[in-house]
Amino acid sequence: MIEGVDEGLVPSRDWIASPPSVTAVIVCRNGARWLPQVLDSLASLPHLPHAVVAVDVASTDETREILGRYLHPASIRTARAGTGFGDAVRIALDGAAPTEWVWLLHDDSSPGEDALAHLLDQATQSDDIGIVGPKLREWPSLKRLLEVGVTITGTGSRETGLERGEPDQGQHDRPRDVLAVSTAGMLVRRRVLDDLGGFDPNLPLFFDDVDLGWRAARRGYRVRVVPASVFFHVEASATAVRPGSLAKRPRRDVRRAATYTLLANASRPGFWWQSVRLLLGTVLRALALLIGKAPREAADEIAGVLRVFTRPGTMIAARRRRAAAARVDQKTVRETLLPSPLIPYRHGLDAVGELVNTLVGPAPEMTGRRAAVEARSDDEDDALPVTGSFLSRHPWAATVLVLLLVALVAARSVIGSGFLAGGALLPAPDGTGAWWSFFTSGSHDVSIGSDVPAPGYVVPLALLGTLLGGNADLAVSLLVLGGAVLAALTAHRLARRLFTSPGVQLWWGATYGVLVATSGAVAQGRIGTVVALAAAPAIVNSAYLLMTRPRVTDGLRLGLWLTLATAFAPLAYVLTAVPLLLAGGLLLRRRGWPSISTALVLPWLLLGSWMWRRALDPGAWWWEAGRADAGVGDLDPPTWQLALGHAGGPGAATYATGALVVLGLLALLRTDRRAPVLVAWAAGLWGLGWASFGAGARFTDGVSSGPAWVGVPATLWVAALAAAAGMAADGLPERWSERPLRRRIYAIGVVLAVAGPLLATGWWVVRGVDDPLERGPLTEVPAYLAARAEDGASTLVLSGSREAGVTQQVVSGDGTRLGDEAVMPEREAFRALDTDIRLLLSNPSSGVLERLGSYGIQAIYVPAPADPDLVDALEVVPGLMPSGSPEGSKVWTFTTTAEPQEPPDSALRPVMAWIQLGLLLVVVVAAAPGRTREVR
C-alpha cells in the first residue's frame, strides 16, 4: 500500500530529510486495464514520492477498487464526469500537504526504474528550472519512442522531432531545454504551478502541457526533458482504446485546443498572421479530408477552429492573462523553443508520399498503434532492432541511396544548363503553363496548324512540372534520368508482395531498376519506355489486389496506373489487357468483372479521342512519347539480343542480363514452387512474344514514322525471369540448410544473381547516359528566325538532297517541343504544301512564295550540311533574300502580301479536355485511400 511517506520503503530518516519533497498525482479515468502495473511500478521505485494522491474522474470500470487496494482512502479523490486533467490536478492538490514538487502521472503511463530520481537530479541543478519531464516510450512495445520533449508547429500540430516508429537507441539522450514535456510523468515545482495559475481550464484534455510549458517559458522558467528518466505510455485516449473517453469528437477537440494554444500565446503581430494561416489551413485540410473520403473529420476540422473564433471574449481574456504574466519576449521563445516554420510542409510532403505509396499498392496487412495496444503484447520479439546505423537497419534505403548516386554519376554529362533532348526525346517547353494550355486548346500552333487532340501524357508531365515550380525541363529530366530509381521503388513495393525473403525483395527491386537504366531507353531519350516500365510494377501490384479483393476502388487504382503507362507507351495497354482478362476469367469469374471492366475502360475515358486513334490505326500502338524516329537506325535486333531483353540501339548493356536468363531457367527445377514460377514465365513469354513481333517493324502515326521500339516488352521479359528466379530462391536456404551440396549450388546461384546486376551497373556508370541524349541550347532553327515567331512567322526547314529526296518541316517558334510531335496535322493536310515545295525547287515563281506565305512561312532554312544542289535551286528563286546563317547552313527570307490561313480549330476539343481533367480528378479522389475509422 502506498500511503504518503512509508518509513518501511526507505533505509533511514536521515536519508529522507535530504531529498526534495514530492507529491505524486495520478489522474484516472477508466484505466483499470493499466492501473495495477502503473501502481506496482510506482511502488517499486527506489526513490518514492512523499505522498501519492489519486483522482478518479467518474470511472465506470474497476478503477476505484484498484485504487482502494493500493492507497489509503484519504489519498483518493473523486471528480465528476467531464473533469479535465488540469481541474483534476487542482482537486488532488486541494487540501493536500504542500510539497516542493508535484509529479503528474496518468493511469496508462508506467514509470521506469529510477524515473523520479533522474527527474529530481536534473530539476535541482538550477532554481530557474520549473518543469522537467521524462522520455516517453510506447507501451506495450517498450522500445519505440513517443516523445523526448514536445513543441508545436505553426499549423497546430504536436512536433516531437521523431521519425514514425523510431526505436530508442539512446540517440536523443541529451538533457536539453524544450518548450514543453508531456503531463505523463511531468515534474513541476509547486510554486511555479501556483505562479502560472495551474493548467488553463480551457484546455481540459489536449495541448494543456504545451500551453503550460509556453507560459512557463514566457514567465522565465526553464522546461527540461530528462531522457535518463523513462516512462512507458499507452496513449489510451489518443489511440481510442480508453472506454468512455472525455473526447467525444477527438479531432474537433484537438483542433480547438491547438488553435487556442497558438493564438493565446502568439505575439500581437503573430496573432493576426496565425489567425489567417489557421483559417486557410483549416479549409485546405478539410478539402483534403473530403478527398480522403472522411466528411465527418472534415467537419470536425472546421468546427474545432470555429469554436475558438466564435468566442473572442475567451481569447481576449487568455491573451491578457499571458501578457500580464510574461517576463520574456515572445521572439526569444520563438527562436529557441519553437520548430522551424518549414516543418509542417515537410510533414505535408511525407503525407503525399504515403498517399502515393498506398496508391502503388498497400501492404497486405496494416497494423497500427491501436492494434498493438489491443493485443496487449509485451513480447520482446516484436521490438525493433536497436543496434547499428540507420543504413544498416534499413538496407533498402541504403540501396536506393546507392542507385541515386549511380544515376547521378551516369548522368554527369547531361547535368547543367540548357534543355535535355536527343534521340527520341524532344526538349520540354519553357514552362508547364504551355502544357496546360496545349492540352485544353482546340488549335495547336505547330507546323501549318492542327486541331488534333493533345496526347494524354502531357497532363502528368504538367502536374509534375507544376509541383516543381513550373519547371518543365526539370520534370522531364527527373523522369528520364531518375526513372531507373523510380522503377526500383515501385518494383520493391511489388517485391514485398511476391517474395517473403527481405534479401530477395531487395535484390529484385534493385535489379529491376538497373534493367530499366541499361535497356537503352535512358540513353535514347525514350521517356515513354522509362515511365511505362516504372509504372509496370504498380500495375501488377494493383492487379494482384484486384484478383484477391475485387472492389471498384481497386479497379480505379489499376485503371489510373494503366492510363499513365498507356499515355506514355500505348503498348502497355495491350500487354496488360489480355492477361488481366484471362486472369479474371480464371480466378474471379462473374464477381470481378465490374472491377476489371472499370480498369480497362478507364484509359479510354481519360485519354479520350487520342486513345481512340490507336484503335483506328493499330500501328500507332507502337508509338511512344517523343519522336517516332530516334535517329538510331533500324531497330531489328537479332534473336539472341531479344532473348537477353535488349531492343537494340545505343545505351543497352547487352550481355549483363545473361545471368538472369540462366537463373530464370534454373527456377523451373524447383518443383514445390512450380506454380508461381510458371506464372512468371508465362508473363515473360507474353512480353518476349510482343518483342519478337515488333522487332524490325515500322509504324506511322499521322505524318511521323519510325522503327518500332520494343524496349517495354523486352525488359519485362527479363524482369519476369528474374522474378521466377526470386520465387525459386525464396525460402531455399532454410530448406537446404542440411544439404552441403545444395548449399553450394545455391551459393553459385547467388553469385550469378549478384554478378549480372553489378556488371550492368558498372557498365551504366562507365558509359553514362548520353549519346544520343544530350543537354544544350535549342538549335532547330537560328535564334533570330525563332524570334520572328512572335509576329506569327514560321520557318520552312528543308533537309536531304534533290537526288535522295527532300524532307520538309514547318517550324513555329524555336522548334518542336515535347508534345508537339503527337499533334502534327494529318498527312493529307500537307499535300498542297508538298506540291508547292516541288514547284519551288523545279519551277519557282512569285506565286509559290505567296502560297507559302499563306501558311505563315516567311523564311526557308537548310541546316548543315546543306546540299549544294538544293542550295543552287533556292538561290535562283525570285523573291528569296539570303540572310545570315550558321556555318554550313543557308537561310533565305521573303515577304508576301498573302493573308495567313486560319489554322484549323475545334470548338469541341477544349470542352472534351476539361471533361477529361474533371473526370481524372473525380477518379483520383475515388481511388484515393480513405481514412478508415477504427471501431471497438
Angle at which helix 868-875 crosses helix 831-842, to 10 degrees, equals 90
Separation of alpha carbons 818 and 427, rounded Å: 6
The per-residue pLDDT for 428 is 93
Query: Residues 612-643, buried b or exposed e (16+ Cβ, 10 A)?
Result: ebbeeeeebbbbbbbbbbbebeebbbeeebbb
Four-residue CA torsion sign, 120, 124, 127, 129: negative
Single out the residue of 819, 913, 899 nearest to residue 853, CA to CA. Answer: 899
> What one-character DSSP code corresponds to residue 73?
G
Cell of 282: 483549416
The per-residue pLDDT for 489 is 93
In one-letter notation, the amino acid at residue 668 is L
Residue labelled with grid coordinates 510539497: 99
Q: Quick one: how far is CA 752 from the chain centroid?
A: 33
- Given a cut of 90, whether residue 690 has pLDDT beyond it is yes
The per-residue pLDDT for 689 is 94
Higher pLDDT, 409 or 814: 409
Rounded mean pLDDT of 438-448?
A: 88
Higher pLDDT, 189 or 840: 189
Question: Which three-class secondary structure state does DSSP give residue 46?
Answer: coil
Contact 212, 270 (CB under 8 A): no
Condensed to tens digits (0 to 9), the pLDDT of residues 463-496 reads: 999 999 999 999 999 999 999 999 999 999 999 9
Q: How far is residue 292 from each of residues 283, 297, 548, 549, 932, measured CA to CA in Å?
A: 14, 10, 23, 20, 10
Rounded mean pLDDT of 866-877?
A: 88
176-177 vs 222-233, strand pairing mode: antiparallel
Four-residue CA torsion sign, 237, 239, 243, 248: positive
Cell of 541: 501490384
Q: What is the mean pLDDT of the chain?
A: 85
Contact 66, 88 (CB under 8 A): no
Rounded mean pLDDT of 697-709?
A: 78
Condensed to tens digits (0 to 9), the pLDDT of residues 523-576 reads: 999 999 999 999 999 999 999 988 887 788 888 999 999 999 999 999 999 999
The per-residue pLDDT for 222 is 95
- The model's confidence at residue 782, banded by pLDDT at 50, 70 and 90, is confident
The per-residue pLDDT for 583 is 83
The per-residue pLDDT for 214 is 95
Q: DSSP assignment of 199-230, as one string?
A: S-TT-SSSSHHHHHHHHHHHHT-EEEEEEEEE
Condensed to tens digits (0 to 9), the pLDDT of residues 213-245 reads: 999 999 999 999 999 999 999 888 776 677 766
Condensed to tens digits (0 to 9), the pLDDT of residues 22-47 reads: 999 999 998 899 999 999 999 999 88
The per-residue pLDDT for 827 is 75
In one-letter notation, the amino acid at residue 34 is W
Q: Quick one: how far is CA 338 from the chain centroid?
A: 27
Could you tell me which residues are beta bridge partners of residue 187? 103, 132
Count the neighbouring beta carbons within 10 Å of the beta carbon of residue 346: 11
Residue 37, CA atoms < 13 Å, CB-side half-sphere: 16
Condensed to tens digits (0 to 9), the pLDDT of residues 137-173 reads: 998 777 889 999 999 988 888 888 888 778 888 888 8
Question: Which three-class secondary structure state does DSSP give residue 67?
Answer: helix
101-106 vs 794-801, strand pairing mode: unpaired
Condensed to tens digits (0 to 9), the pLDDT of residues 333-374 reads: 988 898 877 776 666 655 555 555 554 554 444 334 444 444
Angle, alpha carbons 719-721-723 (nearest 5°): 70
Single out the residue of 123, 133, 111, 143 nearest to residue 46, CA to CA. Answer: 111
Cell of 376: 496487449
Contact 614, 570 (CB under 8 A): yes
Separation of alpha carbons 936 and 931, rounded Å: 16
Separation of alpha carbons 104 and 189, rounded Å: 11
Q: DSSP assignment of 622-652, as one string?
A: G--SS-S--SS------HHHHHTT---STTB
The per-residue pLDDT for 55 is 95
Count the neighbouring beta carbons within 10 Å of the beta carbon of residue 888: 10
Rounded mean pLDDT of 87-101?
A: 91
Contact 793, 544 (CB under 8 A): no
Residue 536, CA atoms < 13 Å, CB-side half-sphere: 36
